[in-house]
């Protein structure tokens, strides 16, 4: 039976790898390493650097090109499901071509496989399609943890809940009901513009945990334009940007 390890690697900073992550990658027979186009070659380079500089043993590395999700699909989830099916087919082919029936295969996953990442869902597709495999998850530092650490702030107010959501949800539905603290991921359109209450604070970060980390914080009304401009410049300079932010509103905004 194949052993499939999904290994959280945080931002790709070697300092963020746990000992469990390192040991799991070293024990693998094959590491599948995705490439996401010329603009994001740095992301593949970070994974290559972990293999070359951190691991004491070097497993076989098999690189593959990520399929492009159809962003114009009329229904967002339909487009995502087609994309995941394509990825599952690629994984299945690579495992068949490069791993024996009892091989240990590993993939490095940004952040943690459990938080707004689809690696586990793709693995489920492999199992549903008949691959005999035991799936192992090795947790990693999430971008949300890196954001709160970078700003040296607590995630939650005392005794209060937190909502973790996406930019799409914030744009389409506004501020979530029943919470004063909202963490927003997967937002390419600066959706905080849609919740511009005067008492809202924002803590924003791009490339959190990486050498080019950028941070902004303050009253949303005061720093909104600066964040939008800073994000656009960073994307132009690097060819890609990964960012995340925390919003708090009301009298508990700074609690």
Q: Is residue 30 part of a domain?
A: yes
Q: Are 87 and 191 found together in one domain?
A: no
* Domain edge (last residue) among 117, 138, 159: 138
What confidence tens digit (pLDDT) does each residue in 81-118 have?
Answer: 888 889 999 999 999 999 988 999 999 999 999 999 99
Contact 246, 202 (CB under 8 A): yes
pTM for the predicted model, two decimal places: 0.89
Residue linked to tokens 């970070």: 46
Q: Are 4 and 119 in contact (CB under 8 A)?
A: no
Q: Tell me which of 226 and 199 has the higher pLDDT.
A: 226
Say whether both 59 and 184 belong to one domain: no
- Give the tens place of pLDDT for each residue, 181-212: 999 999 999 999 999 877 899 999 999 999 99
Do 188 and 86 reside in the same domain of the chain? no
Residues 150 and 133 in one domain: no
Q: Does residue 254 register a pLDDT over 60?
A: no
Q: What is the CATH number of the domain that holds 181?
A: 3.30.950.10
| pLDDT given for residue 41 in this prediction | 77
Burial class of residue 178 (count of CB atoms within 10 Å of its CB; 0-12, 13-18, 19+): exposed
- Domain encompassing residue 124: 2-138
Give residue-wise pLDDT tens across range 33-80.
988 766 567 888 888 989 999 999 889 999 998 877 666 666 677 678
Asked if residue 80 lies in contact with residue 121, where contact means CB atoms within 8 angstroms, the answer is no
Closest to 249 (Cα-Cα) out of 215, 209, 200: 200
Please compute, for residue 247, the number of CA atoms within 13 A of its CA located in the half-sphere on the CB side: 31
CATH number, residue 99: 3.40.1010.10
Rounded distance between C-alpha atoms, residue 28 and residue 41, angstroms: 24
- Check whether residue 79 and residue 179 sit in a common domain: no
pLDDT at 253 > cutoff 60: no
What is the rounded average pLDDT for all residues in the chain?
A: 91
Kindly calculate the radius of gyration of the chain based on its CA atoms and give it in whole angstroms: 19
| 71 and 149 fall within a common domain | no
On whether the CB atoms of residues 110 and 145 are closer than 8 A, the answer is: no
Residues in the chain: 255
How many folded domains does the chain comprise?
2
Span 237-241, mean pLDDT? 90
Both 105 and 153 in a single domain? no
- CA 14 to chain centroid: 16
d(CA 76, CA 199): 32
Q: Are residues 133 and 185 in the same domain?
A: no
For 148, residues 6+ apart whose C-beta sits below 8 A from its C-beta are 154, 155, 203, 246
Among the candidates 85, 116, 138, a domain finishes at 138
- Residue carrying the six token digits 């004063």: 180
């Amino acid at each position: 039976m194949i052993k499939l390890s999904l290994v959280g690697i945080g931002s790709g900073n070697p300092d963020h790898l746990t000992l469990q992550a390192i040991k799991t990658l070293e024990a693998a027979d094959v590491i599948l390493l995705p490439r996401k186009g010329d603009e994001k070659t740095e992301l593949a380079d970070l994974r290559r650097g972990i293999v070359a500089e951190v691991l004491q043993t070097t497993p076989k590395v098999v690189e593959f090109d990520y399929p492009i999700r159809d962003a114009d699909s009329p229904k967002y989830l339909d487009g995502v499901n087609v994309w995941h099916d394509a990825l599952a087919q690629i994984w299945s082919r690579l495992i068949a071509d490069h791993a024996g029936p009892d091989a240990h295969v590993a993939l490095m996953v940004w952040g943690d496989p459990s938080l707004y990442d689809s690696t586990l869902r793709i693995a489920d597709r492999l199992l549903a399609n008949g691959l005999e495999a035991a799936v192992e998850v090795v947790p990693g530092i999430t971008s949300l943890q890196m954001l709160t650490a970078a700003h040296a702030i607590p995630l939650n107010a005392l005794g209060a809940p937190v909502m973790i959501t996406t930019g799409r949800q914030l744009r389409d539905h506004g501020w979530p009901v029943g919470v004063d603290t909202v963490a927003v991921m997967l937002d390419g359109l600066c959706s905080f513009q849609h919740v511009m209450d005067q008492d809202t604070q924002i803590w924003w970060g791009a490339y959190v945990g990486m050498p080019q980390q950028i941070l902004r914080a303050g009253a949303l009304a005061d720093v909104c334009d600066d964040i939008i401009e800073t994000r656009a410049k960073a994307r132009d300079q690097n060819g890609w940007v990964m960012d995340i932010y925390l919003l708090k509103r009301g009298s508990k905004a700074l609690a």
